Structure 1
Amino acid sequence: MSETKRQKQKILTRKHLIEIAIKQFGENGIIATRTADIARAAGVSHGTIFSHFSTQDELVITVIEEFGTRIIQRLHELVDTNSSLFEVLQGHINGLIEFEPFYTKLIIERRLLPESVCNTYIMIQSTISFHISIAAEKEMEQGTIRKMPIHLIYNTWIGLIHYYITNSDLFSPNGSVLKQYSNELLQHCMNLLKK
């Protein structure tokens, strides 16, 4: 019985550490945030971090996977319910809004992170692209959007998002750039795709 309580506590502690890491990475940057900073913010000993994650890279990978899982799950549900491309893109941007500080640091610092971390990021982006492509291909077949290479649809969309996020100090210095511009970005992307 006590083993079950201990296992539940360990799972809760791990989830708590991931949530705190997402927040700390978003506030201070992935590279600048130390495991000691996360432990302090989480109210645990520094050793607790390493009882859940053998290295800092493993922690970063786990955080990126958590971020990816949450967004991909939403997109998967939208694709499964035959949602429109607009709704899938809207689901994507809404998921990014939830993680905007973390995602901003991730895309700015990605090239400086270890290869294993970058590979996790690339796998998540590929899965997001796949879900967007399903909705786009359906609408191309229906004739509601122009036929074009799928990679251009995704790259145009993600390029818009990344441009606004990396220049958020210019577009929205005091708040969420994605909240402020999400409707505009969605409409612009759809206008580019319409026949």
Structure 2
Amino acid sequence: MTAGRSVRVKICGITDAATALAAAEAGADALGFVFAPSRRRVTPEQARDIISRLPPFVARVGVFVNTPPGEVGEIARYCGLTAVQLSGDEPPGYHVDFSLPVIRALRLGNGRPLPNLEDYRCDAFLFDTYREDCYGGTGSTFDWSLLKGLPRPKPFILAGGLNAANVADAVRVARPYAVDVSGGVETGGRKDIQKIKEFISLAKGVEP
């Protein structure tokens, strides 16, 4: 985590404009739009409409799983994304031919070997919990201390089972650049504005 700055927060799985605007008002630094199979999936048209209503200085991150690079680029341009997140089995050399920042999601824990970060072409890493045949959204944490021994050539983003009850501890242990949450701020499968506000307040309340 950058000295003197609180952790950034990404609220992922945004599916409607009201939630997007409320999350931005609550202090979210980034919003995630899922273009992969998921109950939180949005179409490019839906994402473009939501993004068109957002205030400036809130990052718009598209989440993709094993999508051809050309298609990623088309959706990014159409929707007005400011970053893309690759959350599938894309090989280390996978390359998208445009200038947007790329976040590589890597899954840890449950016996998964630690990756060689130098192999990947990206601008930041997101670490999530490993579960076979699941590309995120497990609702489970991994051992955050695994990140202590990894070199940090790029910013680290922490995901996987985060919620208001554990995010402060996660920030203290893993010292990430940012945290990413989706299910941990939902009630009955829908984003809960009060949970979003509480999560952001607790995450950013940890001393840098």
What TM-score does the superposition give when structure 2 sets the normalisation length?
0.22
Report the structure, 1 or 2, having the larger helix content.
Answer: 1
- TM-score, length basis structure 1: 0.23
Q: Select the structure of larger CA radius of gyration.
A: 1
